[in-house]
Structure 1
Amino acid sequence: MSDRLVCLGSKGGPALRPGGPWPSSSLLELGGRTIVVDCGLGVTRGLVDAGISLKTLDLIFITHLHSDHVLELGPLLHTAWTAGFASPVTLFGPPGTGHYWRRFCQAMEFDIEIRIVDEGRPDIRELVSIVEFGEGEIFEQRGLKVSALRVDHPPVTDCFALRFDHAGKSIVFSADTAFFPPLANFARDADILVHEAILEEGIERLVARTGNGARLKEHLLASHSFAEEAGRIASDARVKRLVLNHLIPADDPEIGEADWEAAVRKSWTGDLTIARDGLVVGFRE
């Protein structure tokens, strides 16, 4: 299989609206590995639509425990189990990931126990290995190296950018973060930087329709990056391609790709992709 990134879910935040995109999840196929980064709602359907057999799930990485990144983690693993996976899956996440997984299995205990007996399935609780990580190198196997950098996403302290390197190819996911200059060094010379982005002109309309407007606006401005700031990180890092993802707002009818491009072009002149659900991004040879 050729190396590729698939943006499964491209919107920031947990809300779903008619005709809108799904929250955060990505598929990375790199060095023969099937890697899922974040598991917001829709990740299972997105993987199937991308042509992935759920039985081949391999590595899952969670950047932080906000619901739009983790809500469908348990359901993805459980659905893969009912689809027939019988080999171990390794789940990497920040502190608290193991707690989430144990509680999910407790909630599904009736179903899990009955399927083990009735359908002869292996115990899912023994198939999933949990690795809780902090900063630094968190995985190295068969030429694939994964590193983590703590980023600035208050009030969440355990939120990590991730860098994947294999055979001279590299991709970095910013996770959710306010403008964070050290990210440029972490992403230095990467083939692809997937960076979150908010668009200032959409924020007022977004908070107006969401409710709790003042507090939500405060959070968005303190915890996320404007598109122009994402462009600055990409420029400083000298990456080959910038992918704007985790878009806020992602479902405003008055905002289109041209608006995102206009904002990011103030600081980034290189190759640019504005994420949308199901979009495939290849690595430049």
Structure 2
Amino acid sequence: MKITLLGTGCPSVHTARYGAATLVEAGGARLLVDCGSGVTQRLAAAGVPGRDLDAVLLTHLHSDHVIDLYQLVVSAWHQGRPRPQRIFGPPGTRAFVDGTMALWAEERTLRIAHERRPSTAALEVEVTEITPGETLRFGDTSVTVVPVDHQPVRHAYGFVFAAGSFRAALSGDTRFCPALIETARGADLLVHEVFVHHAMPVVPGVRTAGTVAAVAAYHTLSAEVGKVAAAAGVGALALTHFVPPEVDRAALLAEIRADYAGPILVGEDLMAIDLAAGSVSWNGAVIGLGGLPARL
């Protein structure tokens, strides 16, 4: 099982942290979780273009998690994808996808007529709305749908992936969530969002104290994420969806280390975690990750 952090950012635009997206390669399946801004470029850089995906899983329908879904569909067509794109997400996904495809219908009609590509199968989408507790199967990989707490968003999910002897949990966007802790218990890896509250000051004309409090209220604070990992007893913790995108890494690690003794990764775009090899690769370097035994 290999987890690649494609986009570790948030709605705030950042040149190093693209929009929310994670690639899971396991059990013969290639699964994309979320379609934040820049996801098609990150997929190409990771060596798994949209043409080759087996499914897209959406955690929820906030714009920073779905904004590049149409770009994914069209770029996969340009890459010669021979089959429809399969999209799984919470209630509301079908209406969102239908609306998005309708918005661009004229553009597609013109392209199809003018470009005369051999197939239009990639421009078809198959949408499945999923429910909490459901288990999906892709090849030899199972995906458990976990209800997380991102209120006022009514339907928000995390996912737990299992293939062979490996398990990895992705939090999606959530405040401290006991359901996630329980379902992720004992996983080899937890990929979790983080809100670094002390790095997000009030800025006149941009955000008030009320804004900061409101954003903090539906995310997991940096003072809490280590507690989540410890309570779940996971083998390693990788941080993603940084709010704000620029943080003091040393201070963040120290804060989390107070609660969690396992390996901690301050996630970066295109960081790849190979659970079978017990290794992490990023920016040309490969290191061993203690706590993830090499079970080849």
What TM-score, normalized by structure 2, do the two folds share? 0.88
Question: RMSD of the alignment, in Å?
Answer: 1.8
Corresponding residue to 1:27 among 6, 23, 27: 23
How far apart are residue 88 of structure 1 and its match?
Answer: 2.9
How big is the shift at 1:162?
Answer: 0.7
Q: Does the Cα contact within 8 Å between 2:73 and 2:123 map onto a contact in 1?
A: no
Q: Separation in 1 of the partners of 2:211 and 2:135?
A: 33
- Which structure 1 residue ranges, 4+ long, deviate > 4 Å from structure 2? none
Asked if residue 57 in structure 1 is aligned to residue 53 in structure 2, the reply is yes
Structure-2 residue corresponding to 1:143: 140
After superposition, residues 145-184 of structure 1 pair within 5 angstroms as: 145-184=142-181
Q: Quick check: 1:248 aligned with 2:243?
A: yes
- Output one character per residue of 1:111-151: Cα deviation in whole Å (capped at 9) or x when no partner: 21133333145445873211111101241243211111111
Q: 2:253 aligns with which of 261, 268, 278?
A: 261
- 1:182-221 to 2 correspondence within 5 Å? 182-204=179-201, 207-208=202-203, 211-221=206-216
Amino acid at match of 1:36: L
Measure, in 1, the Cα distance between the counterparts of 2:232 and 2:205: 35
String of CA shifts for 1:70-123, please: whole Å, max 9, x gaps: 111111111111221112331111111111211221122122113333314544
User: Identity across aligned pairs (percent)?
Assistant: 30
Matches within 5 A, 1:10-159: 10-12=8-10, 14-17=11-14, 19-118=15-114, 119-124=116-121, 127-159=124-156
Q: 1:4 aligns with which of 2, 12, 28?
A: 2
Q: Equivalents in 1 of 2:176, 2:204: separation in Å?
A: 26
Q: Does the 8 Å contact 2:77/2:120 carry over to 1?
A: no
Q: 1:5 to 1:210 in 2, by over 3 A?
A: farther
SS in 2 for 1:245: strand
The unaligned stretches of length 5 or more in structure 2 are 279-293
Instruction: Provide the rounded CA distance (Å) in 2 between the counterparts of 1:213 and 1:22.
Output: 25
The separation in 1 between residues aligned to 2:65 and 2:45, in whole angstroms, is: 19
Shift in Å, 1:272: 1.0
1:86–1:127 contact (8 Å) kept in structure 2: no
1:210 Cα deviation from its structure 2 partner: 6.9
Contact 2:7–2:39 (Cα < 8 Å) also in 1? yes
TM-score relative to the length of structure 1: 0.91
Is residue 273 of structure 2 the alignment partner of residue 277 of structure 1? no
Report the equivalent of 1:232: 227
SS at match of 1:208: coil
Distance in 2 between the 1:202 and 1:210 partners? 17
Change (3 A) 1:201 1:214: closer
Deviation at 1:182, TM superposition (A): 2.4
| Contact residue 153 and residue 177 of structure 1 kept, 8 A | yes
Q: Specify the SS of the correspondent of 1:185.
A: helix
Q: Which amino acid aligns with 1:217?
A: V
Contact 2:174 2:220 (8 Å CA) reproduced: yes
**2:134 counterpart SS class:** strand
Q: How many residues end up aligned between the 2 structures?
A: 276
5+ residue gaps, structure 1, are none
CA 1:37/1:22 → structure 2, altered by over 3 Å: closer, same or farther?
A: same
Deviations 1:155-214 (A, max 9, x none): 10100111111111111111111111222111011111001111221121xx41771423
The 2-side partners of 1:195 and 1:209 are apart by 30
